[in-house]
Structure 1
């Protein structure tokens, strides 16, 4: 008898198989018991008919507590009534691990309760579907960049300096000196691009922002490509192709997860159409002011309501180009005809999800960068290695960073970013 996973049920129709699973829920109707089974790959139904099994097995099936782990044996059958399309005609049940008084029941629970039980909440069908979306985004990311001959490079998590300032960094003692948890791997990826041409990193980053919004996490994952011999226009094309690729792969490989999340496929399909619209920062400010946003002035960064209005005006992901120099990091390339803006872009997701990508062309002039480092009050010695990149064969180069959790939140159509990571770290939460 073959042991299979639920996701492979379609390959074994008419066969008797054995599956290791947990009982997510159950119900009975007279002489039939229905078990909602999950094994980490998918959910489907086990049907226990009293006349087809021993009295002991039928009684056991009716009494199985929620989240009891079992070995279940039965015949795979097609089931046109379910979205999954298959079910198991149960013949035998063997209890592996008992479960009693499972705290997360089918009733409503408060968010704090669920977050306190995140280690168990991950088992629910919605949370499982969100993690499947996250997994597909990660898988598709590697496929996209590997196919385009990018090299994966891992920047350090402990750093001696800050690429975007020290105001939101976690400081730690590194023997006899200060160190910080990385807020971005970008500067190191620039060095890697000078060695390998096209590179990307994918790893954890940390921001000590005291923010409680639905878009912010303390610990999150960033995907950061860097590309030598490339200007911003080429980078924007890669960015939109990458995002459209993620959406298409979600449509191709996560149909069941999207169904569980009640995510409208026709909405996602719109986001595979390229090119994405673009608007300058100047025009975005004018648009907002013309539509009643009196709180925004030129030179200020956009908040959530501003980004939402701009994206919803296009009903697509939209690039906002060339922000004011004073509100962006020191390393961005100045605009060739204006001193007050830099060559950069943020990609704003529609449906109110805000910025998912930030990127720019990088400054290549040694003296300009040295002046910027001094203007920002940064330690020249700490950045001497970064300046070396402009001394030894500098080239035009550009890059961007995509926030994994914000992207998953948008693609899955969920409300809060805390559900897009297995164990979220928030301002007031480091448990479990």
Structure 2
């Protein structure tokens, strides 16, 4: 019976065959322990000299790391194993011998591992992170599909920039200027006027010369947009969404979380509703924590967001930022022209902003005025303005950065580990 590691629980005390790679091995005279992986998981194969042919035992002792194999054996329950099962090996067939595999069980430097990212992905740690990333993606589709959202694909090449062109990758689109998209939001606004509730999920690009542990040049965004949703409606669905994906990981990825030694007690507290503080209150809180230099109108950096998050045991919304700090399309507070109806969701444990969202301006004249104030090209935004001419309605949306969210839920320090092939300031290989 040929099967996979993730399915061996169905075949206890039965003989099965798996296609696998040798991740590691150790032996002690008359017994060899093979750490096997097949993409679905990891399992230990135990080869006892007295129970197999001499040829099989010699293979077990001499096969090299990352050699591909067909391994046959009897599935046994093993309470000492985190996986819960092991394989009593009866036969080994070598498919392809791996020679000189560069990533050995010893410690390697970050740059070396990044140069060998195509191989580093095979490690148990990277496998666990990618499993958690996959669960976030799966549960994202589940959440929005269950609530009647329609998935819309935004273009990657665009002639306009939702948040200005200073951090965009410029290219030529035949004889026109074009940019790699930094957000699908504007297109989702158009789609929401057609389909009500929509979301995009795709790659976005920021030409930001940052080397922090929170930044990537290319990353993935989940961007919902909802017609007839106002500020409070928007915060409510963000709480429900983040609660859903965190609880889905807790339920469906216990072994990856255990592999990463993630303290799940913090994640278990992530249930709606989330605490909220205004920008004004955040400034006051920072002053109380000794950040005397920050003043009203300043943006928050990583140390500020971390200090704010330390005061709460769940993600926290910071709402009502100054108009001057935010993009042109955000709806002003009806009671205060100097702030907008927006919120950033700050993750606990120093992981920073994972969501930015707002109610959007739905008044044609006000949006036109904002475009003028930001010196943006009216021709490039003509279609966006027209959304306010033909049946405009209050609408809201947000964007969640997948890699930062994976980093937080996984408990890993740097976002470079949360995307299969990271694009960093000085890295375009492999």
Q: For the residues of structure 2 that align with 1:375 and 1:74, how far apart are their CA atoms?
A: 71
Q: For the residues of structure 2 that align with 1:267 and 1:400, how far apart are their CA atoms?
A: 24
The unaligned stretches of length 5 or more in structure 2 are: none
Q: Which residue of 2 aligns with 1:20?
A: 19
Q: For the residues of structure 2 that align with 1:404 and 1:256, how far apart are their CA atoms?
A: 21
Aligned alpha-carbon RMSD (Å): 0.6
Aligned equivalent of 2:329, options 328, 331, 356: 331
Q: Which residue of 1 aligns with 2:291?
A: 293
Corresponding position: 1:428 with 2:426 = yes
Is the contact made by 2:289 and 2:307 (CA closer than 8 Å) also made in structure 1?
no
- Give the CA deviation at 1:223: 0.1
- After superposition, where does 1:24-423 map in structure 2 within 5 Å? 24-271=23-270, 273-423=271-421
- Give the CA deviation at 1:188: 0.3
Q: For the residues of structure 2 that align with 1:21 and 1:96, how far apart are their CA atoms?
A: 10
Is the contact made by 2:320 and 2:343 (CA closer than 8 Å) also made in structure 1?
yes
- Give the CA deviation at 1:274: 2.0
- Give the CA deviation at 1:265: 2.0
Is the contact made by 2:266 and 2:313 (CA closer than 8 Å) also made in structure 1?
no
- Give the CA deviation at 1:122: 0.3
Q: For the residues of structure 2 that align with 1:59 and 1:50, how far apart are their CA atoms?
A: 9
Could you report, residue by residue, the CA deviation over 1:285-340 in whole angstroms, capped at 9, with x for unpaired residues?
01101221022110011000100011110121000001000010000001101111
The unaligned stretches of length 5 or more in structure 1 are: none
Q: For the residues of structure 2 that align with 1:124 and 1:339, how far apart are their CA atoms?
A: 52
Q: For the residues of structure 1 that align with 2:195 and 2:104, how far apart are their CA atoms?
A: 52
Q: For the residues of structure 2 that align with 1:104 and 1:391, how far apart are their CA atoms?
A: 59
Q: For the residues of structure 2 that align with 1:27 and 1:94, how far apart are their CA atoms?
A: 18
Q: For the residues of structure 2 that align with 1:285 and 1:83, how far apart are their CA atoms?
A: 46
Give the ranges of 4+ consecutive aligned residues of structure 1 lying more than 3 Å apart after TM superposition.
none
Could you report, residue by residue, the CA deviation over 1:11-57 in whole angstroms, capped at 9, with x for unpaired residues?
11111111000000000012110000000010010000101110011
Q: For the residues of structure 1 that align with 2:31 and 2:162, how far apart are their CA atoms?
A: 62
- Give the CA deviation at 1:217: 0.1
Q: For the residues of structure 2 that align with 1:370 and 1:174, how far apart are their CA atoms?
A: 26
Q: For the residues of structure 2 that align with 1:333 and 1:321, how far apart are their CA atoms?
A: 13
Q: For the residues of structure 2 that align with 1:360 and 1:386, how far apart are their CA atoms?
A: 17
TM-score by length of 2: 0.99
Q: For the residues of structure 2 that align with 1:295 and 1:32, how far apart are their CA atoms?
A: 65
- Give the CA deviation at 1:101: 1.1
Aligned partner of residue 191 in structure 2, secondary structure:
helix
Aligned partner of residue 338 in structure 2, secondary structure:
coil
- Give the CA deviation at 1:354: 0.1
Aligned partner of residue 266 in structure 2, secondary structure:
helix
Aligned partner of residue 311 in structure 2, secondary structure:
helix
- Give the CA deviation at 1:266: 1.7
- Give the CA deviation at 1:418: 0.4
TM-score by length of 1: 0.99
Q: For the residues of structure 2 that align with 1:284 and 1:278, how far apart are their CA atoms?
A: 10
